[in-house]
Amino acid sequence: MRQPIIAPSVLSANFADLKSSFDLFHNSPADWVHIDIMDGRFVPNISFGFPVIAAMKTLTDKFFDVHLMIVEPEKYLEEFKKAGADQISVHIEACPHLHRTIQQIHDLGIKAGVAINPHTPISFLADILADIDIVCMMSVNPGFGGQKFIPHTLRKIEELVELRAKTNSHALIEIDGGVTLANAREILESGADVLVAGSSVFNAINPIAAVNELKNIKL
């Protein structure tokens, strides 16, 4: 029996009252804080930068899972580490020298991941999978919260499980986008390890109960 890692996304939090949103983390079994960084270039939206992350870090001791949806992420890795990142995922589509970028992240003493967009084939991960700690698989087109889950993601998860075994990788499989209480079990049964949940948690009548329900899915 295994339990999923639950990573509520602060992109769906109440930015007028971040402390209350972060109190949720302390009062729930949420494992990680998922932080989406967007630059308005790689994706058509802008989120927040180093000072906000550093402020968030003062509100919790949870693991900070930072997802960089930005171009040239290699220029900013050290600053994200200083702001509080425990793990940084960069997009395969944004990194022409991916192995070098992954090594940079590991050299900072934190975990490194690769994120892939819905259109990117799983096979593109074959030469990097053994070197990373996590794959952040986008199950919506990145840039905005509250989108619907792309069903083909389930097959991609299964493909990634197969590739992980072939490459002797221990990378976790994280699903980001459109995760709800209605589809979480199917996502996990396909082979996912980590669920990023944004609006399905923060917009719930009882956010703590929503996290509990996700965390307690038995497999």
Q: Is 176 a catalytic residue?
A: yes
Beta bridge partner(s), residue 68: 37, 90
Catalytic position from the list 36, 65, 133, 193: 36
Q: Which residues contact 113 (CB under 8 A, 6 or more apart)?
A: 87, 88, 89, 90, 132, 133, 134, 135, 136, 171, 174
Q: Is 31 a catalytic residue?
A: no
Catalytic position from the list 39, 65, 176, 193: 176
Q: What are phi and psi of 172, to 5 degrees?
A: -75, 155
Please choose, from the candidates 136, 135, 137, the residue with its C-alpha nearest in 3D space to the C-alpha of residue 171: 135
Q: How many CB atoms lie within 10 A of CB 2?
A: 9
Active site residues: 36, 176
